[in-house]
Structures are given as structure tokens and as C-alpha cells.
Amino acid sequence: MNVLILGGGGREHALAWKLAQSSQIKSLTASPGNPGIAQLAHCTAHPGHADLTVVGPEVPLVAGVADQLRAQGQRVIGPSAAAAQLEGSKIFAKEIMDEAAIPTARYQVHDDLASAKHSLIRFEYPVVIKADGLAAGKGVVIAKSRQEAEITLEQMMTGQLVGDAGRRVVIEDFCPGEEVSFIALSDGQNIVPFAPTQDHKAVFDGDRGPNTGGMGTYCDDRILDAATQNTIMEQVMRPAVHQMAKRGTPFTGFLFAGLMLTTSGIRVLEFNVRLGDPETQVLMHRLDSDLGELLSAATEGQVHRVPLRWKPNPSVCVVLCAADYPALPRKGDTIAGIAAAEATGAVVFHAGTATQDNRLVTSGGRVLGVTASGPTLNEAIRNAYAGVDRIQFAGMHFRRDIGAKGLKRW
């Protein structure tokens, strides 16, 4: 089977790393890829026909790339443009949640600034304000006061904050609790869950500072017990897939539910229509099944027939960021120490790297994802940071508490 991966970040490197181990794969191509992926696959800006295409990022999915490929007779892992609106529009996602009785926060939708400001009297603080459209992980603001909420609405709805993505907004109740990432693979009717993960979005230790695309994550079965995982499947994942099929827009591909575990039960914060980044890095690191076999089955309506097996040890991914991220990250800084990091047993996934004058340099905000496992979560954390300590580039920064909140479960 000839497989094409669309994308060039850490998620796509992790997919390439796992697919390269598959007995089902004859050749592997990535577009555009990155220097890390190039060690495993042919990277090109102009890919040809593939037996199966895996679409990594959300933007091309929302734009309809899966529809175009299917129209050419190709098998694709990724939803249609219509189904991708689950991520492309926060308002659409809320409508699906309402229709399918999926638990979520109380909310209101606005496309007029004056009415949005007036509606704030119906909410307590902190309050959550979300841009309707895609905003690269930066379209959610938790406002701690009425004044902050009004300023956020002004900046968002006038296009200052996230452009046209914020012209329409969702205002919703803040849900205190513990956030969990829950990802499953759907073939349009059947759906199989992946192991639970927990992301760290804020840029600084202790969940302080602005949100980012993700500063690190860990994958550990102890994040959710079996009963809670079953509840999520029955109350969230299966109802979402069923509702999309009922609408005539079946969901095929990876469905990612951002969940909050509250004292009142599970609440869905958002849906994504692709694998998370950096969740993919730890999931692929722990997955013991043949990914090529699983994805092939998903395109044939048989995803439930491939057993998912997981390595018992938890995995941890620490993201190394460029200078000035998450604002305007600096590019072109020389990266050193990857071989030394991997000599410790870690796997280093490239996210924002490029080659320049025969040097590996930074080319994005999130540069590398250092991933490792261990018999315990504490050992997995130590092993990941042992790899981190071998890598250097000017302005490099990262969180030092990835996975620490999970230690209370051991």
C-alpha cells in the first residue's frame, strides 16, 4: 500500500514514524513533510496518486481536500468538508451537541457586538468566549471580569484578535475541572477509542500564561478509568457519529473531543476533526497495533475489526518552542543535540524545523517534541526530560511540569 501523509508538523512526523513500522506499507510519502519526516518518507510539494491518504491538519479538511481526493477515487482518512464543520465552526458543533444531547456548557451565539456585550449579564465570571471559526488554537479566551470580556469581544468581533474567524462568537459558562483529550477513529458508522491523553496548553508551568497549540502531553491509562471511558463513548463519541450520519454527512476519520471532567459530570469543550498535536506523538509512541492495518480497515467500514493494543508504559512528550512563541516566533536558530537526545532512548519528533545551509534550524513556534516512556509515569517524565536536556537552540523554552498533574493517580 502506498500511503501519503498531508502535513508537515509533529503530528505528521509521529504518523510517519508509526506507519514506517507497518507491514502494510510499501511506500510512504509526505507533503510537504519536514526534515524529520524526510528520514522516513519521500517529502514532496507535488504528491501523486496514493492508495491511502492521511490528512493531518484541520485547515485542508475544512477546505474540502478529503472530498477532492475521494472524487478521484482515493481512500482517505479524514472527514468531508461538511463533517469537518465540527471543528470549522464552534456554532455548528454546539448545534450537533444539542441535537444529540451531548453534555456541554450553557452557551449563547452572537454575530453582533452590542448584543454580545449585553448578553454578558447572563453569565458569571470567569466566562469563556470562543471564535466561531478556525483560529490555530488561539480562538478561546477565558475572561475573568466583565471588562476583560467586553474587551475580548471587541477585539474578536472586529477581527483584531483572530481575523474573520472571530466575527461570530460563542459565549459559554466556564466549566471548572480537569481537562482530558479523548480521540477515536470512525469509519462513518463504527468508532474505536484511543488511549486517553492530557494536553498542557498554557505556555508556562502551572498552566499560566496564554494558551498555545500545546506545550506537551502524556498518555496514561490512569487518566480515565474504564467506566468513565465507556461513559464518554456512550454519551459523547457515538452520539456525535450517529448524529452526523443522520444528517447525511457521515463522519470518517479521527474525532477528537476536548473534555472537562467536572463535579457535575463530563462536559464537551470542543470537537476537533483530526488527531491532536502533541497528542499524536504520545499515542503513536504507545500504540502497539499496526497503524497501516487500522487505517486501511477504517476506509473499508471495518475499523472495529482491528484490535487496538497499547504498550503498558505511559508516554510523555515535551514540546520545545522557539524564542518569542506563542507571539511571533523567531526562525533560523541552529538546532543541536537531537542525536544525543535520541541516544537516551527518547524519540524526537520534528514540528517546526527546516534545513538551511546544511544546518537544521527553527522554522515555527513549536519546534520539537521529545517523547519517551517508562514503567511509571514519573520515570517516563524523567526520561523525556533527559532527552530535552541534550538539545540546544537559541531562545529555546519549554514547560518543566509536563505530566506532573498525572502523578497523583500513581
pTM above 0.85, yes or no: yes
Domain ranges of the chain: 2-77, 107-173, 176-305, 315-409
CATH number of 107-173: 3.30.1490.20
Q: Is pLDDT above 80 for 137?
A: no
Residue-level length of the chain: 410
pLDDT score recorded for residue 210 = 86
Chain segment 153-201, per-residue pLDDT in tens: 999 999 999 999 999 999 999 999 999 999 999 999 999 999 999 999 9
Write down the pLDDT at residue 331. Answer: 98
Average pLDDT over residues 192-212: 95
Specify the CATH number for 315-409; select among 3.40.50.20, 3.60.21.10, 3.30.70.250, 3.90.600.10. Answer: 3.90.600.10
Q: Where does residue 13 rank: exposed (0-12), middle (13-18), buried (19+ CB within 10 A)?
A: buried
Here the cell at position 394 is 537559541
Predicted local confidence at residue 180, as pLDDT: 97
Q: Determine the Cα–Cα distance for residues 183 and 248; give it in Å rounded to an integer.
A: 22
pLDDT tens digit sequence for 6-63: 999 999 999 999 999 999 999 999 999 999 999 999 999 999 899 999 999 999 999 9
The matching CATH number, chosen from 3.20.20.70, 3.30.470.20, 3.40.640.10, 3.40.50.300, for 176-305 is: 3.30.470.20
Considering the segment(s) 2-77 as one domain, its CATH architecture is 3-Layer(aba) Sandwich (3.40)
pLDDT in tens, 214-259: 999 999 999 999 999 999 999 999 999 999 999 999 999 999 999 9
Place of cell 471511558: 229
Mean pLDDT of the chain: 97
Q: What value does the mean pLDDT take over residues 285-304?
A: 97
Mean pLDDT for 148-157 is 97
